[in-house]
Amino acid sequence: MMTFLNRWALRSFLCLQLLLLLGCAATSPNVQLPQKEPSTAYLKRLHPRVILVLGSGSARGFAHAGVLKALEDNHIPIDMIVGTSAGSIVGALYADNPSADSVEKILLKTQRNEVIDFSLMDLTQGPISGNGLQNFLITHLKAHNFEQLHIPFVAIATNLHSGELHVFGSGPIAPAVNASSAAPPFFRPVSLYGKTYIDGGLIDPVAVDVAKRFHPALIIAVSLNYPLSKSLPTNGPSVFLRGFDMMMIRLNNYSAAEAQIIIRPEPVNDVNMFDNTQGETLMQIGFAATEKAIPEIKKQLARRHIALTPPDKTSETV
């Protein structure tokens, strides 16, 4: 699960150079991409009561599955999902099949090399092509286009030309989520509809501002912060990376600030950008953080006269 550099980025990059000798690129995804980006007019007709915003966070994105499990267990309605980077991957899976158990199983059984594919082609653009991620999504999603999803969903990316935020909510899902998750310098930028995109977490890690465009009654945001190391850096590169961490933590907090509910699953230990060995632990952390927020969520729902979802039924899309 992908987003911006963290304190492990330099070490990860060196590891990637070694892995390139062993890795091979995934086959090109079978996606019929329109020349022009399809209209998102259908989104303007939505009137969601509750929007769930899933933030970026690389491998910490496993925590999102635990968040979804806790919300589901407590019958919290979800009328729309906004996802950035790792949040776009988990968000797409859940929007396609609103079952936290299903999402957990998919994430836990998937091997890292199924999603993270290395290629010597166009190496200057990044060692990871993104084909593996797209094929993973194509394999596990019943829907092909955004319009076919069970729960309305949008993915947030950064336009590399303009530096502006871009909201994908129409057309093929897999390349849009790839664009939302294309973290430099590892993942290659993604060209879609005549433009080039990179990871949305670089400018809007918890896209509450996008959720507000739909005028929901309640926004629940999940911010995947991580703790700074207690040991101070000892050289120039590590000082730079720590400064980058500080900047991104502050951006995370700013990006999520206007949500009525902010859930912050915070891992106790550092989590490497490509580490999928702590998936179950991160899911438990996400579940526990959400359980603590449930009383306030239910209070906010009651204040807005929003009923809980009946047991064994998913939230009705609006």
Other CB atoms within 10 A of residue 116 CB: 25
The CA distance from 242 to 262, in Å, is 24
Rounded CA-CA distance 161/149 in Å is 29
Q: Which backbone phi and psi does 104 adopt, to 5 degrees?
A: -60, -45
194 backbone φψ class: left, alpha, beta (φ>0; ψ -120 to 50): left
Check 12, 56, 58, 85 and give the catalytic one.
85
Both tokens of residue 215? 């005028």
Q: How far apart, in whole angstroms, are the C-alpha atoms of residue 293 and residue 296?
A: 6
Q: Tokens 């729309």: give the residue.
A: 80
d(CA 235, CA 137): 40
**Active site includes 85?**
yes
Interaxial angle between packed helices 100-109 and 86-96, expressed in degrees from 0 to 180 and rounded to the nearest 10: 130
The span from the CA of 130 to the CA of 88, in Å, is: 14
Catalytic residue among 96, 117, 199, 204: 199
Q: Three-state SS for 192?
A: strand
Q: Is 58 annotated in the active site?
A: no
Q: Does residue 157 sit in helix, strand or coil?
A: strand
Q: How far apart are CA 20 and CA 25, in angstroms?
A: 10
| Helix (H), strand (E) at residue 113 | helix 112-115
The H or E element containing residue 158 is strand 153-159
- CA–CA separation, 46 vs 196, rounded Å? 28
Residues that are catalytic? 85, 199
